[in-house]
Amino acid sequence: MAKKTLRDLSVSGKKVLVRVDFNVPLKGGQVADDTRILAAVPTIEYLIQQDAKVILVSHLGRPKGNVVPELRLDPVARRLEEILERPVKKVNEALGPVAERAANSLLPGEVLLLENIRFYRGEEKNDPDFAAGLARLADVYVNDAFGAAHRAHASTAGVAQHLPAVAGFLMEKEIRMLGSILEEPKRPFIAVLGGAKVSDKIKVLNNLVPKVNTLIIGGGMAFTFLAAQGYGVGRSLLEEDKIPVAKEIMQVAESRGVKLLLPVDVVVAQEATDKAVSQVVPVSAIPAAEMGLDIGPATRKLYSEAIAGASTVLWNGPMGMFELPPFAAGTQAVAQAIADSGSISVVGGGDSAAAVAKLGLAGRMTHISTGGGASLEFLEGKELPGVAALQDK
């Protein structure tokens, strides 16, 4: 999936519309976590150095086509100014005369941030006229918002029909890292999948089973697999209608010689709270009145030893309710094992990325995806609209 990137274009003096993912949490009118802003900085700084006129477009939250004052991008503009150490112009429109005047008045090396693109109904509808209006702002289009690449919206797909469209550096890295582990991973290749539901990961499981050497299952979804093996799971999260799917995945893994690891013990409690009284039990003895909320110490050891022998590790989804201290040890153990393994490690966005950041291990992972839903769909083998719209090499 070789796509053209910024390096394939001459951008000097040109107006460059960059789709970024500045969908960041705000608190008290300030950016509470600037991770996504920082991820776009290499692309923005490259364009500044190349004397491009930089026009940034992003969404924030879910205003659903309405102007929501608390979702304006002014706090983002202020934080970006601090990071870039240069002025960032901001307008209260994303297209139309005001936006066009602001774009046309830019000098080489200047940066303009448009208003929240989801204030417009035409964005999520991928309205052709809306996309054409957006394209009128610029000479070139760059998509650096992998986190929104699974959406066929005007600013991610539609605008690319009107302008030369290439990948930014973050988008390029996401495609390269996720693509390489699916297409030509260094072996042994281990996938660690967690999270709540099998139904959320069926397509990922089906796509990965033929590609991996070992598949490790944790989180709430593990209980559907345990039920498929005939275990009682008490009040644990269980998708009874997905038991046949779990059985089929286990059969495919066995037929292909893929090692499939499931919990051998779990941490259970009567309630999922930070003050819950918990105990460790083998998976064959989960009390009927309790629910499994994390993998147990024997499972942590089993999984960590498997991960230690990997050359490539893909991790998507926590091992338990890691946001609650009594049930965080499993996720912590997996994160630490991956960090210590020396493997090519790719963390697939969402809760896994949050866990790695919380544990201070982000710097020891090869790549942490910025796209939750987008990375999941990529791992399912789907073509993402925001990637498909870019020019091929």
Q: At residue 348, does pLDDT exceed 90? A: no
CA distance 193 to 217: 5
What angle separates helix 198-208 from helix 243-255, to the nearest 10 degrees?
20
Exposed, middle or buried: residue 301 (CB in 10 Å: 0-12, 13-18, 19+)? middle
Q: What's the rounded mean pLDDT across residues 110-127?
A: 98
Mean pLDDT over 312-318 rounds to: 95
Give tens-digit pLDDT for 282-303: 999 999 999 999 999 999 999 9
Q: Is the pLDDT of residue 230 over 90?
A: yes
- Chain mean pLDDT for the chain: 96
Omega before 188 cis (within 30°)? yes
Q: How confident is the model at residue 358 (pLDDT cuts 50, 70, 90)?
A: confident
The distance of Cα 95 from the centroid of its chain, to the nearest Å, equals: 28
Q: With bands split at pLDDT 50, 70 and 90, how would you rate the model's confidence at 124?
A: very high
Question: What pLDDT shows up at residue 223?
Answer: 97
Percent of the chain with pLDDT over 90: 92
* Residues forming the active site: 36, 197, 350, 373
Question: Per-residue pLDDT for 369 more than 80?
Answer: yes
Nearest alpha-carbon partner for 295 in 326, 339, 316:
326
Sheet bearing 15-19, strands edge to edge? 89-90, 111-113, 53-57, 15-19, 140-143, 165-167
Average pLDDT (95-124) is: 98
Q: What is the pLDDT of residues 202-225, one digit of tens each?
A: 999 999 999 999 999 999 999 999
For the segment 132-156, the average pLDDT, to the nearest whole number, is 97
At 313 the three-state DSSP class reads strand
| Global pTM value | 0.91
Average pLDDT rounded to a whole number, residues 176-205: 93
Compute how many other C-beta atoms are within 10 angstroms of the C-beta atom of residue 229. Answer: 13
Alpha carbons within 13 A on the beta-carbon side of 173 = 17
Task: Tell me how far CA of residue 346 lies from CA of 46, 146, 291, 379, in angstroms.
Answer: 25, 15, 30, 11
Sketch out the chain's domains with CATH numbers: 6-170 (3.40.50.1260), 177-379 (3.40.50.1260)
pLDDT of residue 368 exceeding 70, the answer is yes
Burial 137-173 (b: 16+ CB within 10 A, else e): bbbbbbbbbbbbbbbbbbbbbbbbebbbbbbbbbbbb
Structure tokens at 44: 């923005």
Q: pLDDT above 70 covers what percent of the chain?
A: 99
Task: Flag whether pLDDT at 353 surpasses 90.
Answer: no
391: which 2 tokens? 């020019």
Q: Kindly report the number of other CB atoms within 10 A of residue 71's CB atom.
A: 18
**pLDDT at residue 1, rounded to an integer:** 57
Q: Any idea which of 156-165, 228-237, 299-308, 375-384 has the lowest mean pLDDT?
A: 375-384
